[in-house]
Structure 1
Amino acid sequence: MKNLLTAVLLSAAGLAHAAPPASPPSSPIYGVTLPEGYRKWQFIAPAHETPPLDELRVVVGNPVAMAAIEKNQLPFPDGTVLVKLAWKRVQSTESPAAYVPGAASTVQVMVKDSKKYASTGGWGFGRFINGQPADLAQHQTCWACHQALVKNHDFVFTRLAP
């Protein structure tokens, strides 16, 4: 009787045949997803990537990241999340001397979890194009680049802009 009552109530609420919510797309290798609300996070620094990428980039951080960055805390604590938004660089139509963001190219995510990502310096990586994870080959390059170039800064390129 209890199961019948539950089924009737769920049906009345329109939930009887509702599919469970879909999991957000996650990166291969690391399982990193796009963090909810990341576009409202605090600004850390801009960057310009030269050709062939020719991109404008902005890095933002969650509250854990911001607290660590403001204190120059290394290594970053677990729970740190950094997000890099990238756009193709285009010349401004209003000011010929200026370049502005054009088409969005990628959103890149770093998540600090020293246990889960122990084999990659405590960091998990995600690279997304139009909200979907980039392919496996692109994710296979993340750790090698960070390990080779920024080992002395907890594998993070970004510094707080003055």
Structure 2
Amino acid sequence: MRRITAAFLLASGIAATCLAVAAGSAAENVSPIYGVSLPEGYRDWRMITVAHEAGKNNDIRAVLGNDIAFKAFRDGTRPFPDGAVIARLAYVYKSSPENDAVFPAPQSFVAGDPTNVQISVKDSKRFSDSGGWGYGQFENGMANQSEPLLKSCFACHTKLDQSKDFVFSHYSP
């Protein structure tokens, strides 16, 4: 299995974040089109924000970022610097009868089963055709191989104000 690994050092020199971006076949668990893989240790990244997507998805999302993305969110740096990686973990948004039994009315919602993880990788040279961002979606740890789905990522993100650098989330301190 051939992998290209890039290490991006923060200006402080204290922390390094490694991002594995694989090139090759679906057997290497990478998204089609962009070749994005699940970064090692992404579940330990810092929280950027949470979101509830109503409608058809009806999910609750935790948005995490590597050190580069977190600093850019916190400092309001746009465009995001190369090496920023954002992970969006989605879960079924469901009511909690157990919690509601404690309250005077149904009001408690929790994260249910996981639905998917979406990864956005900023590399202005590699992903120049998509605003500098590469995308991947993973279900049960495996890359979704649907090219139409991945092509829809950038098409949707382009509807945002350009000052947001194609990113939906905002930092919630």
After TM superposition, the score normalised by the length of structure 2 is 0.78
Out of 40-49 and 91-100, give the one that drifted further: 91-100
CA separation of 1:150 and 1:32: change in aligned 2, threshold 3 A: farther
Tell me which residue corresponds to 1:9: none
Answer yes or no: is 1:122 the counterpart of 2:117: no
Deviation at 1:67, TM superposition (A): 1.4
The SS at the match of 1:159 is coil
Structure 2 gap ranges (5+): 1-26, 101-106
Among 59, 71, 82, which residue is 1:67 paired with? Answer: 71
2 CA distance for matches of 1:37 and 1:152? 29
Out of 125-134 and 42-51, give the one that drifted further: 125-134
- For the 8 Å contact 2:30–2:36, the answer to whether it is kept is yes
Q: Give the root-mean-square deviation of aligned CA atoms.
A: 1.5
2 CA distance for matches of 1:131 and 1:86? 13
Tell me which residue corresponds to 1:35: 39
| Deviation digits for residues 49-105 of structure 1 (CA, Å, limit 9, x no counterpart) | 002110000100000111111211011000000000000111113222111111110
1 CA distance for matches of 2:89 and 2:38? 11
1 CA distance for matches of 2:51 and 2:143? 22
Alignment coverage as a number of residue pairs: 141
Tell me which residue corresponds to 2:155: 144
Larger Rg computed on CA atoms: 1
The SS at the match of 2:98 is coil
Answer yes or no: is 1:154 the counterpart of 2:154: no
Deviation at 1:150, TM superposition (A): 4.0
Q: Which runs of 4+ in 1 moved over 6 A?
A: none
- For the 8 Å contact 1:150–1:157, the answer to whether it is kept is no
1 CA distance for matches of 2:31 and 2:76? 29
| Deviation digits for residues 19-60 of structure 1 (CA, Å, limit 9, x no counterpart) | xxxx74100100000010000000000000002110000100
**Which one has the bigger strand percentage?**
2
Tell me which residue corresponds to 2:58: 54
2 CA distance for matches of 1:24 and 1:82? 21
Structure 1 gap ranges (5+): 1-22
1 CA distance for matches of 2:61 and 2:171? 14
1 CA distance for matches of 2:161 and 2:53? 17
Query: Sequence identity of aligned pairs in percent?
Result: 43
The SS at the match of 2:80 is coil
Tell me which residue corresponds to 1:112: 122
Deviation at 1:117, TM superposition (A): 0.2
